[in-house]
A and B are shown apart, each in its own frame.
Chain A
């Protein structure tokens, strides 16, 4: 149908045709993208300023939602604290573990590829299923962890039913599940470091520790930066584990921001309020990311 566009059209008509062709190529994705992504993004901002109840309808609320979030809402405060707690502990752990694992599987050793597959397996396995498994593993009496601790004579905590230990429990599970992802990114980074830099450092008499500090670490810093940014963003969004393993409890000790958005929006149907909390989440991620981009100049080396 679009027959012989090729050589026949003049300059102008061929450009018009290119525009038309572009439109046709874009159309299927663009329509869906506008309706189901771009417009909802705009609507999310607007919705935050409304009192929108699915059953009662909408009324303009101005900054009321935000005022309530920041001055009265104890659950929000807990959710923010929990999310930051989760991030501050799980990100360093999964970054360091990811890097260490990447260095181990970057060896020219037989069978090392199989280990890479194993370490990434929890990442691709269904989170809800794994959350159920871990719920079992954390059972105070018959669970795997406390039984193992019992063998060496220690008494384990009540884990998910203890407000002190539920969050560490969530963190352990999440680091276990996610470190393989960081490993893959670090592995790609390590393999991008030219071998001759190590050889040169060796000729100069650098010990392996010094080569690690002065070659690996600086050359890996763009990867590390990327991994940290991505890890922070995804840990701010933690949801599945919390919903399945603890439901946010006991009390509000594991209610994360996204879990709270879900509870407010889809269990209390207080959608304007949930949208406002979602905007706060977005702002937090945005600020965190911008700050990391500002500080990257201090420690990230690009060549």
Chain B
């Protein structure tokens, strides 16, 4: 027995005396990797609690000598982080809801209804998935400028709210729901919308959650579009606010880390609560959440 046996199909091969060492080795490797993965994140949080002189100390200290939770208050007051957070929530909430609802409706048409040009239209949807968002960001910006939507919520939300990605993901799922369920309801006189509303949607909770969690995490994190659209505190979401904050208070690392931690908390919470769906989203599509 060697390490590979354990690593490739661990725990399933017949055990022997020597083999028992390998799990320990694997745990050790995993712990070392987890340490390296977590250090920057833990570092961010610990630094956020340090005093300014301690942050500048050389060599750096791990554990804060004195805890300064008031750093969070100071960072919060230096820039309108409450406003930024709210902007992020409105933006991401709007995008997520619109994306999920409109994608579900369209996906139903693609999965279940027959209409002329369906396959061609679906191909067009798929085709745009291959085009990087940076290609469309310039015409999109010119468009919202013409519409007078620069620095508005609708400018942040609407252009991001109708994705081919969501349609693709939900269509894949709808196709797995047995057609017979719907046929039976049709025979009983249900309308198309009735079928969608009372049969497809209730069975699609996991798929909708997958899309919603994906959209939330992607758009909370997304920098380029809000950077281009928002230019006042009235619309700036937290990622952009954080970037501007860095420019203005570039040397106060403790405050910067406190602000970074504030920006990160919502995504970490959503991820920890909903990682099952997030992981499903990755394995089902392999794409990002756009």
Q: List the interface of chain A (C-beta within 8 A of B).
A: 2-7, 15, 18-19, 21-23, 25-26, 28-33, 35-41, 43-44, 47, 52, 54, 101, 103-109, 112, 115, 117-122, 124-130, 132-134, 136-137, 141-144, 147, 150-151, 176, 180-181, 184-185, 188, 195, 198, 208-209, 211-212, 216, 226-227, 230, 233-234, 236-237, 239-240, 243-244, 258, 261-262, 265-266, 271, 274-275, 278-279, 281-282, 285-286, 289
- Min CB gap A129→B, angstroms: 4
Residue from B26, B135, B159, B186 within 8 A of A104 (CB atoms): B26
Mask for B43-86, Cβ within 8 A of A = 1, else 0? 11001000000011111100000000000000000000000000
> Do A234 and B30 touch across chains, with their CB atoms under 8 A apart?
no
User: Contacts A4-B189, A6-B186, A6-B190 hold; do A26 and B105 have CB atoms under 8 A apart?
Assistant: yes
Chain A residues within 8 Å of B193, by CB:
2, 21
Chain B residues within 8 Å of A38, by CB:
124, 128
User: Contacts A6-B190, A19-B116, A226-B286 hold; do A41 and B59 have CB atoms under 8 A apart?
Assistant: no
| Distance A14 CA – B57 CA, assembled complex (angstroms) | 77
| Distance A52 CA – B141 CA, assembled complex (angstroms) | 13
| Distance A108 CA – B5 CA, assembled complex (angstroms) | 12
> Do A122 and B243 touch across chains, with their CB atoms under 8 A apart?
no
Q: List the interface of chain B (C-beta within 8 A of A).
A: 2, 4-12, 23, 26-27, 29-30, 33-34, 36-41, 43-44, 47, 55-60, 98, 101-103, 105-106, 108-109, 113-116, 118, 121, 124-125, 128, 130-143, 145, 158-164, 167, 186-193, 196, 217, 220-221, 223-224, 227-228, 238-239, 242-243, 246, 253, 256-257, 260-261, 263-264, 267-268, 271-272, 275, 278-279, 282-283, 286-288
Could you write out 17 A-B pairs with CB less than 8 Å apart? Answer: A4-B191, A19-B116, A28-B105, A29-B105, A36-B161, A41-B139, A101-B33, A106-B10, A109-B23, A109-B27, A119-B37, A120-B271, A129-B44, A136-B47, A142-B58, A209-B4, A243-B243
Chain A residues within 8 Å of B43, by CB:
133, 136-137, 144
> Do A109 and B283 touch across chains, with their CB atoms under 8 A apart?
no
User: Contacts A36-B159, A132-B242 hold; do A279 and B114 have CB atoms under 8 A apart?
Assistant: no
| Distance A25 CA – B104 CA, assembled complex (angstroms) | 9
| Distance A206 CA – B29 CA, assembled complex (angstroms) | 26
| Distance A227 CA – B59 CA, assembled complex (angstroms) | 40
5 interchain residue pairs of minimum CB distance: A32-B162, A108-B11, A107-B10, A129-B260, A43-B139
Dominant SS among interface residues on chain A: helix
Chain B residues within 8 Å of A105, by CB:
30
Task: Name the residue in B39, B40, B103, B196 with the highest tally of chain A Cβ atoms < 10 Å from its Cβ.
Answer: B40
> Do A147 and B217 touch across chains, with their CB atoms under 8 A apart?
no
User: Contacts A25-B108, A129-B261 hold; do A104 and B138 have CB atoms under 8 A apart?
Assistant: no
> Do A36 and B8 touch across chains, with their CB atoms under 8 A apart?
no
> Do B162 and A37 touch across chains, with their CB atoms under 8 A apart?
yes
Q: How many A-B residue pairs have CB under 8 A?
A: 313
In the complex formed, the residue of A with least CB distance to B47 is: A136
> Do B34 and A115 touch across chains, with their CB atoms under 8 A apart?
yes
- Min CB gap A285→B, angstroms: 6
Task: Name the residue in A108, A120, A126, A136 with the highest tally of chain B Cβ atoms < 10 Å from its Cβ.
Answer: A126
In the complex formed, the residue of B with least CB distance to A198 is: B9
In the complex formed, the residue of A with least CB distance to B114 is: A18
User: Contacts A26-B109, A208-B8 hold; do A130 and B40 have CB atoms under 8 A apart?
Assistant: yes
User: Contacts A29-B103, A142-B57, A208-B4 hold; do A5 and B191 have CB atoms under 8 A apart?
Assistant: yes
